[in-house]
Amino acid sequence: MKTIKFLSVVVCASAVLLSCNKNGVTNKPLNTQIDSVNYAIGAFSAKGLMANIKGSNFDEADKDLIKQAFINVLDSTDVLIEDTEAQKILSNYFAKKQQEDQKKAQAEQLKKLEEQYNDVKVAGENFLEENKTKEGVKTTESGLQYIVLKEGNGEKPEASSKVKVHYHGTTTGGEVFDSSVDRGTPSEFGLNQVIKGWTEGIQLMPVGSKYKFFIPQELAYGAFPRQGGVIKPFDVLVFEVELLEIVK
């Protein structure tokens, strides 16, 4: 949308140079109403273009090149970039810039959250460090911890499988944030649609099994859980999961 708006303003702003030639701008007096209308179109278009450039966070604007392009198009001579290529150039540039801006903003937000919730992050690390020494707790290479509460004898799902499960999710302090058990209805979902800890953990389970998982924050929601929920940034999550079936 930003690129389309940018392009539309550029097209309108071509009116700014209706009185231009290759040697620059000729200052004409406004003798008639039509002269004033033409000048007003140019003035509004130019202000709109500059406002849109600023709104697009485009700091590399070169007014001389912009003027050159307008003059080339108006005179139909020496046009260096045609419409289709111009659209592609602008679309690619602003798409890449938007990604870079989002990445930068997320990094800045992450830094703030790490400072604000450092106690939660440290508490989670300490919890997992102590928990892995407890009887029955197994730890995978990724850091996922689990206890086998009941071992089934069915087949194991794959990363692309859809499964039906009953589960009960809490924080390490025991606060419930989600539970199909409490709702009384099993849930179905694809293992490629859930947090990494679930994707990895449920693949360890034969159908009919019930496991308890201790999921590190980096395999859960990390710094960005759902806003307004029970889960804090960097929380370790605890789930009891019963794998009922692999949905065909």
- Whether residue 165 is predicted with pLDDT greater than 80 in this model: the reply is yes
- Whether residue 61 is predicted with pLDDT greater than 90 in this model: the reply is no
- Whether residue 18 is predicted with pLDDT greater than 70 in this model: the reply is no
R_g over Cα of the chain:
30
* Contact present, 158 and 203 (Cβ < 8 Å): yes
Nearest alpha-carbon partner for 5 in 91, 104, 122, 101: 91
pLDDT at 75: 75
The yes-or-no answer on residue 62 being catalytic is no
* Residue predicted with more confidence, 91 or 61: 91
Sorting pLDDT into bands at 50, 70 and 90, what band is 15?
Answer: very low
Q: Does the residue 110 lie in any domain? A: no
Q: Does the residue 113 lie in any domain? A: no
Sorting pLDDT into bands at 50, 70 and 90, what band is 232?
Answer: very high
Task: Rounding to the nearest 10 degrees, give the CA dihedral for residues 91, 96, 101, 107.
Answer: 160
Q: Does the residue 105 lie in any domain? A: no
Q: Which domain covers residue 165, as residue numbers?
A: 118-247
- CA gap 38, 42 in Å, rounded: 6
Nearest alpha-carbon partner for 56 in 106, 12, 3, 110: 3
The yes-or-no answer on residue 35 being catalytic is no
Nearest alpha-carbon partner for 72 in 64, 87, 28, 47: 64
- Catalytic residue selected from 93, 178, 189, 246: 178
Shared domain for 95 and 124, answered yes or no, is no
- Whether residue 13 is predicted with pLDDT greater than 70 in this model: the reply is no
- Catalytic residue selected from 44, 58, 177, 189: 177
The yes-or-no answer on residue 146 being catalytic is no
pLDDT at 7: 44
The yes-or-no answer on residue 213 being catalytic is no
Q: Does the residue 155 lie in any domain? A: yes
The pTM score is 0.67
User: What's the domain count of the chain?
Assistant: 2
The yes-or-no answer on residue 147 being catalytic is no
* Residue predicted with more confidence, 220 or 38: 220
Q: Which of 69, 100, 131 is the last residue of a domain?
A: 100
- Catalytic residue selected from 117, 167, 213, 214: 167
Per-residue pLDDT of 168-206, as tens digits, reads 999 999 999 999 999 999 999 999 999 999 999 999 999
The yes-or-no answer on residue 93 being catalytic is no
Sorting pLDDT into bands at 50, 70 and 90, what band is 26?
Answer: low
- Whether residue 20 is predicted with pLDDT greater than 60 in this model: the reply is no
Q: Which of 100, 132, 160 is the last residue of a domain?
A: 100
Per-residue pLDDT of 65-119, as tens digits, reads 877 877 787 777 777 888 888 888 888 888 888 898 899 999 999 999 999 999 9
Q: Is the dihedral of CA 141, 147, 153, 157 positive or negative?
A: negative
